[in-house]
Structure 1
Amino acid sequence: MYIEAGSETFSFAQLGIFLFLYIGLILLSMIAMFLIIKKSEHPQPWLCFIPVVNYTPMLNIIGKSGWHVLWLMVPFVNVYFMIKWLVLFHKAYGLSAWVTVLWFTPFILVVLLYMAFSRDVEYEGTLYSK
């Protein structure tokens, strides 16, 4: 069976392959984030697999309460807080704040995999834990 889309036709097999790859990349990024959070010895790294709640371990690592997730619900304000939190998150692992720029490019998965599997990236703590 085919779906007509303009002059091109897409089969359900092509749609299935796309969804399979999409879900695979999402799972790979979740596993990478799990390993990154696990490096900090956070008590609940498995929270990375639950949507919306997956930001709470990151917030706890940078010294913020999990309730700060609610800022992500406010338009325009959410962009400011997400950039601010990512900068603090990268600094907690000894990376430059400029690594945050890569989160807004297609190379986000490369950054996550580097942070998860590199022996050079270690949790150093935050300003609040020193």
Structure 2
Amino acid sequence: MQTNPMPPPPFHMANGVLGALLAAYFTIIFVFSLALYIAYVIPIWKLYKKAGQEHPWLAFIPIAQYWPFFWTIRKSAWNILWFLLPVAALIVLHPLHVVGIVIAILADIAVFVLEITWAAAFLRAFNMSPYWLFLLLLLVIPPIGVLAIVILLYIMAFSDDYQYQL
């Protein structure tokens, strides 16, 4: 007597197709993000060179790019630690549940206000009106806002009209 082999599991081919689609999706996202990052750091590097920073190449290193940023606006590089405030507040205050989350959100808002202040100082350092920030804040649609910031940085970096003033 012959036994029938077990039928193949359902969606046998689908697992490979799904994996391939996910790999393609994440590859496209990675390539696009890398291209956007390179498009962002080139004008930052050029602006650091315009400002006469000793190490403009730090613009290409993700966290280290803030050191020349703060030196450009004549602030201490220790201000980088403010970026850790929301993360630290969320980790430390997490056991407080709702109260901890509210305090972490307030820390996010405080850091956001500091970032706006620093961005305005950066624009002023290159003799550009800080009112450009209001235009950029109105562009809350992420792709448009990011592209607007990159375009503004390219204008500042490659135009002779904007020179370092501090």
The TM-score normalised by the length of structure 2 is 0.65
Structure 1 counterpart SS, 2:18: strand
1:25 to 36, 45, 51: 36
1:48 — aligned with what? 59
Q: Which runs of 5+ in 1 are unaligned?
A: 126-130
2:155 to 104, 110, 114: 114
Structure 1 counterpart SS, 2:165: coil
Q: CA deviation at 1:73?
A: 1.3
Q: Which runs of 5+ in 2 are unaligned?
A: 1-15, 87-107
2:112 — aligned with what? 79
Runs of 4 or more off by more than 4 Å in structure 1?
A: none
Structure 2 counterpart SS, 1:42: coil
Which structure has the highest helix share of the two? 2
1:2 — aligned with what? 17
CA contact (8 A) 1:2 1:10 kept: yes
Give the superposed CA RMSD: 2.0
Q: More displaced, 44-53 or 32-41?
A: 44-53
Identity %: 29
Once the two structures are superposed, residues 70-129 of structure 1 have per-residue CA deviations (whole angstroms, 9 ceiling, x without a partner) of 11111222112111111011001010111223266231111111111112111111xxxx
1:128 — aligned with what? none
Query: After the TM superposition, which residues 84-95 of structure 1 pair with which residues of structure 2 at under 5 Å, given as runs?
Result: 84-95=117-128
Q: CA deviation at 1:28?
A: 1.4
1:99 — aligned with what? 132
